[in-house]
Amino acid sequence: MITFYEDALCENCYAVRLLLHMLAVPYTSHFIELYPSRANLQPRFRAINPLAELPVIDDDGVIIAGAAPILVYLAAKHAPGTWYATDTPALAQVTHFLTLAERLSATVGAARRHESGFAPTDLPAAHTGATRLLRGLDAHLWFAEQQGNAWLLPTPHPTIADLACFPHVILCEEGGISRQPYPALRRWCDRVKRLPNFLVMPGVFLTAPPKTE
């Protein structure tokens, strides 16, 4: 059984929680409060992850820390042909978006942590970086739609690339970054929300069910 160390309000934990639910992998949750008590800095959590960061999973002794490595671990183990890529170009594309998600966390996520009072940051720099990345992602998805693709990769099934980027995009307004200039991103968010076993977190609303013919 997987033990999942998480905080209910952490967007990187949300990416992992989404995949666990979509794969229907059972787990027990262990709440580590990042703010205001900063339980992640306590010795008992540092013993599990010396970086004192969330998320972490412990899969019967295999300890993996960080959203991207955990997503890779879970998807490669449980759903290699769908949620995780196996062919060469797709593997590189997935890696591209996992890296992009880290950059979103350092800009969009930093703005959110700043506005939430969790951690101060250089807000104008975070917003400038965020705008650049969100514009690029919005353009990518607009052209994907033009070619009949719904997801970040040109595959019929979504991948961990989508789940890695989604939390940052859907929570960006908590960092004072409007999603209004990014219509393709807003439509993609609706599509992610309509995936089977989708789960909200605080700050995320459901969308309407799809039109049935």
Partner 1 sequence: MPDPTTANLWHPIAACADTPVGTPQRTTLLDTPITYTLHGEGHATAASSSMLPVLIRYGYIWTSLGTPTADLFDIPEYAEPDRRRFNAASVSVHVSAPRAVENFLDMSHFPFVHTGILGAEPHTEVKEYDVETSAERDEVLATRCRFFQPQPSTAADQGAEVEYVYRVPHPNCAILYKSSVIDETRRDVIGIFVQPVSQERVRAHMLVCVLDDRSDDETIKRFQQTVFGQDKPILENQFPKRLPLDPRAESPVRADRVSIAYRRWLSAKGITYGVIPAA
Partner 2 sequence: MSAHAWHPIAAARDLPPRHVFHAKLLGQELAVWRADDGFINVWENRCLHRGVRLSIGLNEGQELKCQYHGWRYASRTAGCTYIPAHPEGAPARRIANRIFPVIERHGLIWSALETSPDDLQTSLPPDPLVLREIAIDAPAAIVEPLLAAYDPPGHGPRPIFFIQPTDSESCVIRGVVPEPPPTGALALLRLHDAALCALRDVAEQRPAA
**What is the smallest separation between the CB atom of 186 and partner 2, expressed in angstroms?**
7
Mask: binding to partner 2, 116-145, rule CB under 8 A, as x and -? ---------------x-------x--xx-x
203 touches partner 1 (CB under 8 A): yes
Q: Which of 173, 195, 198, 199 binds partner 1 (CB under 8 A)?
A: 173
Residue 173 Cα distances to 35, 128, 132, 176, angstroms: 19, 14, 16, 5
25 or 123: CB nearest partner 2: 123
Nearer to partner 2, 41 or 139 (CB): 139
| Sequence-separated (6 or more) residues with CB below 8 Å from residue 171 | 11, 108, 109, 112, 203, 204
> Contact with partner 1 (CB under 8 A): which of 48, 144, 184, 201?
201
Site for partner 2 (CB under 8 A): which residue of 24, 28, 47, 147?
Answer: 147
In the list 3, 33, 145, 150, the residue contacting partner 1 (rule: CB under 8 A) is 33
CA distances 182 to 12, 150, 169, 198, Å, are: 22, 15, 10, 22
Assign 199 to helix, strand or coil: coil
The reply on whether position 3 binds partner 1 by CB under 8 A is no
**Residue 80 tokens, joined:** 């290699």
Q: Which of 123, 145, 176, 186 binds partner 1 (CB under 8 A)?
A: 176
Give yes or no for a contact between 82 and 92, defined as CB atoms under 8 angstroms apart: no
Of 41, 62, 125, 206, the one binding partner 2 (CB under 8 A) is: 206
179 belongs to the binding site for partner 2 (CB under 8 A): yes
Can you read off the two tokens belonging to residue 151? 């997801």
Kindly state whether residue 31 participates in binding partner 1, applying the rule CB under 8 A: yes
Token pair listed for 62: 């295999």
- Outline where DSSP puts E strands in the chain: 2-6, 27-31, 56-59, 62-65
Q: For binding to partner 1 (CB under 8 A), which residues are involved?
A: 8-9, 31, 33, 35-37, 39, 115-117, 173-174, 176, 201-205
